Amino acid sequence: MMNARKVVVDVLNEVFFKNSYSNISLNKALKNSNLASSDKALVTEIVYGTIKYKYTIDIILKKFIKVKFSKLDKIILNILRSSVYQIRYLDRIPDFAVVNEGVELAKKYSSLKSSKFVNGVLRNYIRNLDADFLSSRDKIKVIAFRYSFEPWMVNFFIKQYGIENIDKILSGLNSTPNVTVRVNLLRGSYDETFNKLQELGYDIEEGSICPEAIEIKRGSSIENNPLFLKGNFTVQDESAMLTVPCMEIENDMYVMDLCSAPGGKTTHISELSNNTGTVYAFDIHKNKLKLIEQNAERLGITNIKCDVMNASEYNEKFKGKADRILVDVPCSGLGIIKKKPEIKWNKSINDLKELCGLQEKILQNASKYLKKGGILLYSTCTLNKDENENNIKRFISSHNNFKIEDIFFGDVSNVNYDKYGVTILPNEHMDGFFMCKLRKLW
């Protein structure tokens, strides 16, 4: 168990002090470890949980630590953070066991003095579990402490979606995501894949909205699953699965995906076109195109052409060429916090403002590549209305040759319909997402 706790602390150090992505650091650490599957699952839970609840945990720790965090040994700080997470949010690990593990870890990787410090802080916390750590009645601070979000982000969501939606949004972003897969109908029917997954011992259920979605509630790692290796499905959040069907893909079309890596939506276009026509997959990073090519090969797709292109720079040779265009723009990612909880801590209000200009450029260029009568689908995985509805408002006001077409997924509790697009609020099944369908009139 000591090795498992050391992996936790190492990953937290990478995320909190080196600005690493949690999923990349965690996957690398687990791959290089010799941990059993059960220990890997525990490490994953503690890592994501500690990152998710960092704001609340730090407020608690400051009640028992008199020195500034910047003066603490990084290993010791993250031992304390991960220990408080386990004591406060996990039921199955006894408090005394958490303390003992933390003390031994500090002793082995720091010093005897540090281990005594860890012991004192954690035992003091256990004696005061029911204390009022916040000592404030400020509405924003109370919500921020409860859900562990920076107050500016809580205030941001309230201003954009109203106080009546704040609990739904923040609890959705804090939920633990299950793996969701999209069935590749080029390889077999939905029922065939569903039944085979059950035969392999997976606890699964149908998706909430998308007819190709299967949610995996429990089961072994997907990457070694024989159905995955044969290309029967792709791992993708259900919110993201909903974009491509809105594009009205038909056989033998010329389709462009301007920001395509890692290729989940690109391959979906190919599947819905029955592997006909041509799907042009562009990305600014050449190394990321390999991911698309590898996915396409696994899925049995042959109609994708990958190339490097900066979507924010206009390319005259594509003018008026495309029947359909997908513009899944780079965004602030506020809708996928449950998968990348470090977004809570590495984004600022200024970061959100800076992206809109880039997104507008990409949308402007895409509009010129589209044929008359063609469809442009704009999407993001954020909940920032400036990157979503307001970008569409600005575009439509200066492009009277485009009209917004309706998207309707039914009367679903977490789907909000607006004249400028559709917002999917995050919940335990789906990420936060936005999409808008635009038709070129002339």
pLDDT digits (tens, 9 = 90+) for 352-374: 888 999 999 999 999 999 999 99
- Residues 387-404 have a mean pLDDT of 97
Three-state secondary structure call for residue 348: coil
- Residues 338-358 have a mean pLDDT of 91
Q: How far apart are CA 339 and CA 330, in angstroms?
A: 16
Task: Specify whether the CB–CB gap between 295 and 263 falls below 8 A.
Answer: yes
- Residues 328-356 have a mean pLDDT of 93
Instruction: Respond yes or no on whether the N-terminal peptide bond of residue 262 is cis (omega within 30° of 0).
Output: yes
Report the percentage of the chain scoring pLDDT > 90: 91
Task: Specify whether the CB–CB gap between 190 and 183 falls below 8 A.
Answer: yes
pTM of the predicted protein model:
0.94
Task: Specify whether the CB–CB gap between 6 and 105 falls below 8 A.
Answer: yes
Q: Under the phi-then-psi rule, with left for phi > 0, alpha for psi from -120 to 50, and beta for the rest, what region is 3?
A: alpha
- Given a cut of 90, whether residue 37 has pLDDT beyond it is no
pLDDT of residue 2: 60
pLDDT digits (tens, 9 = 90+) for 243-277: 999 999 999 999 999 999 999 999 999 999 999 99
| Nearest CA among 257, 391, 374, 242 for reference residue 321 | 374
Q: How far apart are CA 35 and CA 117, in angstroms?
A: 28
Helices vs. strands in the chain: H and E counts, helices first: 18, 13
Which residues lie below 8 Å from residue 108, measured CB to CB, with a gap of 6+?
2
Residue 17 Cα distances to 10, 30, 77, angstroms: 10, 19, 11
pLDDT of residue 1: 59
Q: How far apart are CA 96 and CA 284, in angstroms?
A: 51
Can you point out the beta strands (E) in 219-313?
233-235, 254-257, 278-283, 304-308
Can you point out the beta strands (E) in 253-405?
254-257, 278-283, 304-308, 322-328, 370-380, 402-405
- Residues 409-427 have a mean pLDDT of 96
Task: Write down all domains in the chain, each with its CATH number in brackets.
Answer: 2-126 (1.10.940.10), 139-174 (no CATH), 179-235 (3.30.70.1170), 238-440 (3.40.50.150)
Highest-scoring range by mean pLDDT, 40-44, 217-221, 320-324: 320-324
Contacts 24+ apart (CB under 8 A), 372-375: 372/320, 372/440, 372/441, 372/442, 373/439, 373/440, 373/441, 374/322, 374/323, 374/324, 374/325, 374/439, 374/440, 375/247, 375/248, 375/323, 375/324, 375/325, 375/405, 375/437, 375/438, 375/439, 375/440
Task: Specify whether the CB–CB gap between 78 and 12 falls below 8 A.
Answer: yes
Show binding-site residues for S-adenosyl-L-methionine.
Answer: 259-265, 283, 328
| Nearest CA among 221, 247, 207 for reference residue 37 | 221
pLDDT digits (tens, 9 = 90+) for 82-115: 999 999 999 889 999 999 999 999 999 999 999 9
Show binding-site residues.
Answer: 259-265, 283, 328
Residue type, position 385, single letter: K
- Given a cut of 90, whether residue 317 has pLDDT beyond it is yes
- Given a cut of 90, whether residue 119 has pLDDT beyond it is yes
Catalytic residue among 306, 331, 356, 381: 381
Task: Specify whether the CB–CB gap between 169 and 157 falls below 8 A.
Answer: yes
Is 331 one of the catalytic residues? Answer: no
Neighbours of 427 (CB within 10 A): 20
- Residues 6-34 have a mean pLDDT of 93
pLDDT digits (tens, 9 = 90+) for 160-185: 999 999 999 999 999 998 899 999 99
Three-state secondary structure call for residue 365: helix
pLDDT of residue 223: 83
- Residues 384-408 have a mean pLDDT of 97
Mean pLDDT of the residues in the chain: 95
Instruction: Write the secondary structure of 75-104 as one string of H (helix), E (strand) and C (coil).
Output: HHHHHHHHHHHHHHHCCCCCHHHHHHHHHH
Report the percentage of the chain scoring pLDDT > 70: 100
